[in-house]
Amino acid sequence: MGEVVSFLSLGSNLGKREENIKRALDLLRRDEDIKIVKTSSLYETEPVGSKAQGWFLNQVIKIETNLLPQNLLKVIKKVEKEVGRVRGKKWGARIIDIDIILYGGKNLATKELTIPHPQLRRRKFVLIPLVEIAPRVTCFKGETASYLLKSLRGGEEVRLYKDASC
């Protein structure tokens, strides 16, 4: 299998959020089957679901990989564990959360993994950084990331935390 372009979202709202994301990026960079091509700025985001938790830092990265989606997910879960993630309640606070948002234009629906990410069209905290690095990437049936963001009404507050050039 050749290199496939994929987009991952990273988020953290426990501990030293920026350090957690940097650590996850470092661990992903060490994997010989993953090449980080581009990183978005960091965004601070109001939590979705339970509001009784700290705000998240979020980022989207563009990678190239020769891993199949299921194997990429295994690497991601290993990275999350190494950073200190303990799986708890859905949409709860977390040291690190990494999701596969898009994978080479593929659609996939298994028990463990759905691509494109099923919540993508409702999540400003993913769409804003995705549009920053890949505005014309196709997400659903010809809908670009830019189109999805423009179509989104309301949603969580998202603000720039640190520009990608920093």
Distance CA 21, CA 4 (A): 23
Cα–Cα nearest to 115, from 7, 1, 2: 7
Residue 122's pLDDT is: 84
Q: How many CA atoms lie within 13 A of 154 on its CB side?
A: 1
**97 among known catalytic residues:** yes
**94 among known catalytic residues:** yes
pLDDT digits (tens, 9 = 90+) for 24-62: 999 999 999 999 999 999 999 988 766 667 899 999 999
Backbone angle region of 49, left / alpha / beta, with phi > 0 → left and psi within -120 to 50 → alpha: left
For the whole model, what pTM was predicted? Answer: 0.92
Cα–Cα nearest to 60, from 40, 78, 76: 40
User: What is the pLDDT of the chain when averaged over all its residues?
Assistant: 89
**31 among known catalytic residues:** no
Look up residue 159 and give its two tokens: 């603000």
CATH code of the domain made up of 4-162:
3.30.70.560
Residue 125: pLDDT band (50, 70, 90) is very high
Q: Which residue among the candidates 17, 30, 87, 99 is catalytic per the annotation? A: 99
